[in-house]
Amino acid sequence: MECRGSLAKPCWLLPPLLLLLLPPYHQGQVLKQIPSTQVQEQDREIQELPAVHLSNGPGQEPVSVMTFNLTKITKTSSSFELRTWDPEGVIFYGDTNPRDDWFVLGLRNGRPEIQLYNPWAQLTVGAGPRLDNGMWHQIEVKAIGDSVLLVVDGEEVLYLRQVSGPLAKKPQPIMRIALGGLLFPASNLRSPLVPALDACLRRDHWLDRQAQISVSVPTSLRSCAIETQPGIFFPPGTRAEFNLQDIPQPHVEPWSFSLDLGLQMAGGSGHLLALGTPENPPWLSLHLQDQKVVLSYGSGPGLELPLVLGLPLQLKFAVSRVLLSQGLKKKILALPPVGFSSLPNLWALPQGRLFLGTLPGEVSSASFCFDGLWAQDQRLDMDQALNRSQDIWTHSCPQNPGNGTSTAH
């Protein structure tokens, strides 16, 4: 067994199921049979298919699922290209039995990771370079005799010897492969991993397609034809919420809290953020309106600040006031006297929330991109949100603002 490449990490012996690191060919939500007479024709068409986005929301549901008859597999190599800014998530999951024979190929800290559980071994191994730089990377998996080879951008990063076994002799001859998600609870993973991956996949050649039994239509709502940059993009009408007890906590003495928003693009009118509870009007809100932001507390009058895109927008909270600043421009909003409705008390409520984007019941035309979002100088991850709209781009933004107003194919 060898790990190769200057950025490869130490590896451990992997079992025969790694022969199955062969992702699915994507097409067609209704399952359908694929007659062998169509295989050659579909092979010619595969290059013409558009890239597929691997996430269809905040959960672990795959965007496509397919099945293979292991007794008919003769070709055991696959290749595809992947593009992402997201450092963590599932590329694909495969199993013959979700209880005791499964594997996952994903990213952790931007690098490929394999999690594996079967009668021969239970392990987690990472190897290879970081792939979360927004460029297309070619990934190839080869089963050679009793060995498995993982190649990234033409470089061998993982070579596993004496790890394969005959697929045709497995107790369960049917293999399922799920693209961009899991077919069992995420808690069953050996090492915790956020399943959702904001990534695109293209130019895929999978396994022996004559062994493919069925394939489902990709359910992703995102198009991969748009050029992207790193960030967090909220299309119109989308929202996310964090439990205030789950994000970095305020300083106690004296009480203070800060939020920093790296706004790269913004348009329309609607809420950027709010603090409050789900059932009641927001305690404090920041509203986007005609290229300015309006800060208000409850139903009181708001303070306006012209918006300059590209400069960090900062909110500093204290017991008696909120400082809103961008560059050299500053506005101070006075808060009501200490009492039940004082801002620090919101953190003591189990239902206290930080809302981003559209509020419940709001009709909003606002769309915006953050190149970063920080609470108490610590970056917030959209994958850790308590709830979020499925159309939010968790780790990317359109380079052209006009391209992000619709996320559907």
Cα–Cα distance for residue pair 363/139, rounded to 1 Å = 43
**Residue 365 CB: number of other CB atoms within 10 A?**
13
- pTM listed for this prediction: 0.82
- The number of CA neighbours under 13 Å toward the Cβ of 62 is 28
Give how far the C-alpha of residue 291 lies from the chain's centroid of Cα atoms, to the nearest Å.
29
Give the E-state strand segments of 48-173 in sequence order: 52-53, 64-69, 77-84, 89-97, 101-108, 111-117, 122-126, 137-144, 147-152, 155-160
Q: Backbone phi, then psi, for 210, in 5-degree steps?
A: -70, -20
Cα distances (Å, whole numbers) of residue 390 to 56, 72, 296? 6, 38, 28
pLDDT of residue 190: 93
Look at residue 122 in the predicted model and tell me its pLDDT: 81
DSSP 344: H
Query: How far is it, in rounded angstroms, from Cα 114 to Cα 137?
Result: 17
> Are 235 and 53 within 8 A, CB to CB?
no
Amino acid at 155: E
Q: What is the pLDDT of residue 49?
A: 79
Q: What is the helix (H) or strand (E) element at residue 43, kind and residue range?
A: helix 39-45
Which stretches in the chain have pLDDT values below 50?
2, 6-41, 43-47, 405-409
CA nearest to 363, candidates 251, 262, 271: 271
φ, ψ of residue 166 to 5 degrees: the values are -70, 120
Cα–Cα dist 267/2, whole Å: 51
> What is the rounded CA–CA span in Å between residue 206 and residue 241?
38
At 8 the pLDDT is 41
* Amino acid letter, 175: M
Residue 168 Cα distances to 85, 209, 345, angstroms: 38, 16, 63
Neighbours of 74 (CB within 10 A): 8
CB-CB contact of 365 with 268 (8 Å): yes
The CA distance from 58 to 197, in Å, is 9
Question: How far apart are the C-alpha atoms of 348 and 252, rounded to whole Å?
Answer: 12
